[in-house]
Amino acid sequence: GAGVSQTPSNKVTEKGKYVELRCDPISGHTALYWYRQSLGQGPEFLIYFQGTGAADDSGLPNDRFFAVRPEGSVSTLKIQRTERGDSAVYLCASSPAAVSGETQYFGPGTRLLVL
Amino acid sequence: AQKVTQAQTEISVVEKEDVTLDCVYETRDTTYYLFWYKQPPSGELVFLIRRNSFDEQNEISGRYSWNFQKSTSSFNFTITASQVVDSAVYFCALTFGNEKLTFGTGTRLTIIP
């Protein structure tokens, strides 16, 4: 079956602009996760959803970052007033359920560049 | 503190050599899960293996094998008879009793033909 998909694959924006990054999880997966990966680093957790609700958003760096999953499937990560430091690869993952130890399957990521 | 350490930043080996990637973790939890992911140049993280903290049995899958030792808090990954297609960044990761993955900084493996 289809894996996790993310759009766009690349996004270039200017400082101060608003961006939306989309994630389409594996069909049937109820848990969805967002991570951010800076150059030369491992992915860092941002937020995860179980169904429609954000179960843990402790990794969001500040209130410029927000994510939604209104119908329990597709999720959108929204970044307001982008800064150059937001440049990174944003990774989405899904798993059958948000249970400890459940394997998370990752999408190809969105590479965000803020000029 | 809960932490994953991959001390080897970069490793280069000649094709067909064996190579071991090290992973050391810190946790006070008794229940946790360990993972290895591969990130090829395309960028997508590919799941390789999952182990739980109660299962210390080593695992072999083709040319890949994993050695989990709770006594030393290590979960090392060995590739036997390496191939050029094994070139990638490899990440060790853990969940510490919750759903978030905590990743190490990765080891970049280059297989020289």
| pLDDT tens-digit profile, chain B (113 residues) | 689 999 999 999 999 999 999 999 998 888 899 999 999 998 899 999 999 998 888 888 899 999 999 999 999 999 999 999 999 999 999 987 667 899 999 999 999 99
Among candidates A58, A30, A43, which has minimal Cα distance to B93?
A43
B3 touches chain A (CB under 8 A): no
Listing DSSP states for A39-51 in one string gives TTS--EEEEEEET
pLDDT at B42: 87
DSSP strand pairing (B10-14 vs B107-112)? parallel
Instruction: List, in sequence order, every beta strand (DSSP E) within chain B.
Output: 3-5, 10-14, 19-21, 24-26, 33-39, 46-52, 59-61, 64-69, 74-79, 88-95, 102-103, 107-112
pLDDT at A100: 74
pLDDT at B2: 84
B68 touches chain A (CB under 8 A): no
Q: Quick check: B25 and B10 in contact, CB under 8 A? A: no
Nearest to B105 among A41, A45, A101 (CB): A41
pLDDT one-digit tens code per residue, A13-59: 999 999 999 999 999 999 999 999 999 999 999 999 998 999 899 99
Alpha-carbon distance A95 to B20, whole Å?
A: 29
B64 touches chain A (CB under 8 A): no
Alpha-carbon distance A11 to A23, whole Å?
A: 14
Nearest to B101 among A55, A99, A104 (CB): A104
pLDDT at A2: 85
pLDDT at B28: 86
| Chain A residue at shortest CA distance from B52 | A101
CA distances from A63 to A49, A78, A82, B37 (A): 17, 10, 11, 30
Banded pLDDT at A67 (limits 50, 70, 90)? very high
Q: Which residues share a beta bridge with B58?
A: none
Identify all chain B residues contacting A107, using CB atoms and an 8 Å cutoff. 44
pLDDT at B1: 66
Residue type, B71: S
pLDDT at A109: 96
What average pLDDT does chain A have?
94
Cβ-defined contact of B95 to A48 (cutoff 8 Å): no
pLDDT at A70: 94
pLDDT at A1: 57
